[in-house]
Chain A
């Protein structure tokens, strides 16, 4: 679908990135500030010009240095949501929403005005002036405006960056809903892991203008270089699970993951919902045998895969179906005589597991918005 390979020098900084997006899913671009995420987005949108490389979208070239192709921004059909919403101040909400819609040929449109208003909850805002909107409302209008231009790719450049905590969570819900409703490749730039866990299927990790890792969110987020880029010393394990049942009496929800039941604090989601469980390595305990008489709810059998020193601690990867990270002191490792191949029991407190719904997994009620002629 999207195939990009770009090089651009800006002073001392060189951006040199290549990756592909094969399906209509949310791909997160993660990296520290200054890693080149926003530069990449501007190059893709046609707002800056790369020194070399190519961008192909749905089989047609938007940029190709060798062939001398460089489509201007207004002809790329790439939607863009900026950090600061950049609404047109002299148009009302309706005018902003229709600005791109009117410029899109009817045959190319894959979403209607009413659908966008519905998905993003814009009904009550339509007749407002842009100046009378809150930060979160502005971003919703900005997303709606981009969707209504029926883009072939949607770029979201840290859309939550200018909002405070509660507003962030609210807009994140809208974005997750939106991503579940449209079949459109979305690049979501962020440096907040909690946003990525919620909305993205895939993750491209960027540092110093280069790609460090690229793969499913669960896989990349469990890497040491991801933890480092997220400014954390502690590794995490992300498990993709499904809610099996709720037990209101015990105040827990049970997740089913690779044959293991995992109990987490009660979730307000219907059984069957896909979730991602985030388990920080410093909350994982290893034992040599199953243990009785503990408050810890979750026990799993596994075998040690590897031991890697991380600062003054040791990262022990345990194979429980996927590698699960535990952070131990070297002393503990010696005591348990941990070595690759050794069978162990993994203990995880329910309260330490952070589970969140995954966007786009639930396609029930999704509008069928795929274009019949989509490449």
Chain B
């Protein structure tokens, strides 16, 4: 009971790999978009804000389908990427990571944006009078002070990626060893006869993983909060 079956080990490994890749990949653009939205006014800001939030309100299946149409081997972007970079998202774990990244992106951006908005502009102005240019101010003041929000965003996005199902199965299906993450594996098992026991084990595994993530997140948030208060 305490040892994991090959199917479970594979699903757990894929879930962690896909989620970690999704968060790592979406972090730099996520921080950039959050900073743009928090600090600047520009034409099309509302549209950008809406686009970022779209995956939060669209059915994940729709997001998966849109990804399939655009990023698939024959989609306009997917075909270009394959031709020029040899990169393909179709029916492999990278596709699963892309689906998770898109779905969890709004959660990441919201969290980072809120924490950037809370930073006192006066502190940044003070740093400028001490000779720090805009980039130095961003990396020595804005980014460190936004760390609690960034950490919260990472955890939220990671947790959302772990539970991602709809977009993943639509975009890259349930391929063993490639895209059969924990939720996908759970779904597959429930669809086969006599899979009840296995389904329960996968379910408990999911609960355990989610709890662990939340506990680490809480500990991390407290630590950072204390450090940033000076």
| Pair B126/A86 contact, Cβ less than 8 Å | yes
Q: Which residue of B120, B122, B123, B131 is within 8 Å of A103 (Cβ)?
A: B131
Choose, from B26-34, B170-178, B222-230, the stretch at the interface: B222-230
Complex CA gap A73/B145 in Å reads 21
Q: Using a CB-CB cutoff of 8 Å, which residues 115-145 of chain B contact chain A?
A: 120, 122-123, 125-134, 136-137, 140-141, 144-145
**CB-nearest residue of chain B relative to A151?**
B129
Residues of A within 8 A of B (CB): 45-47, 72-80, 82, 84, 86-90, 99-100, 103-104, 129-132, 145-146, 149
**CB-nearest residue of chain B relative to A150?**
B131
Looking at the assembled complex, report how far the CB atom of B113 sits from the nearest CB atom of chain A, in whole angstroms. 20
- By a CB distance below 8 angstroms, the chain B residues around A47 are 125, 128-129
- By a CB distance below 8 angstroms, the chain B residues around A46 are 128-129
- By a CB distance below 8 angstroms, the chain B residues around A74 are 128-134, 136-137
- By a CB distance below 8 angstroms, the chain B residues around A87 are 126, 230
B153-170: contact bitstring with A at CB < 8 Å (1 yes, 0 no)? 000000000000000000
Looking at the assembled complex, report how far the CB atom of B39 sits from the nearest CB atom of chain A, in whole angstroms. 15
4 residue pairs, one from A and one from B, having the closest CB atoms: A89-B230, A100-B130, A131-B230, A103-B131
- By a CB distance below 8 angstroms, the chain A residues around B130 are 74, 79, 99-100, 103, 145-146, 149
- By a CB distance below 8 angstroms, the chain B residues around A82 are 122, 126
The size bracket of the interface on B is: 20 to 34
| Pair B230/A129 contact, Cβ less than 8 Å | yes
Cβ contacts A to B, 23 pairs, < 8 Å:
A45-B129, A46-B128, A47-B129, A74-B129, A74-B132, A74-B133, A74-B136, A77-B131, A79-B130, A80-B129, A82-B126, A86-B125, A88-B123, A89-B230, A103-B130, A104-B131, A129-B230, A131-B230, A132-B230, A145-B130, A146-B130, A149-B129, A149-B130
- By a CB distance below 8 angstroms, the chain B residues around A99 are 127, 130, 132, 140
Q: Which residue of A79, A90, A149 is within 8 Å of B230 (Cβ)?
A: A90
**CB-nearest residue of chain B relative to A73?**
B128
| Pair B131/A72 contact, Cβ less than 8 Å | no
| Pair B145/A72 contact, Cβ less than 8 Å | no
- By a CB distance below 8 angstroms, the chain B residues around A104 are 131
Looking at the assembled complex, report how far the CB atom of B171 sits from the nearest CB atom of chain A, in whole angstroms. 40
- By a CB distance below 8 angstroms, the chain B residues around A77 are 131
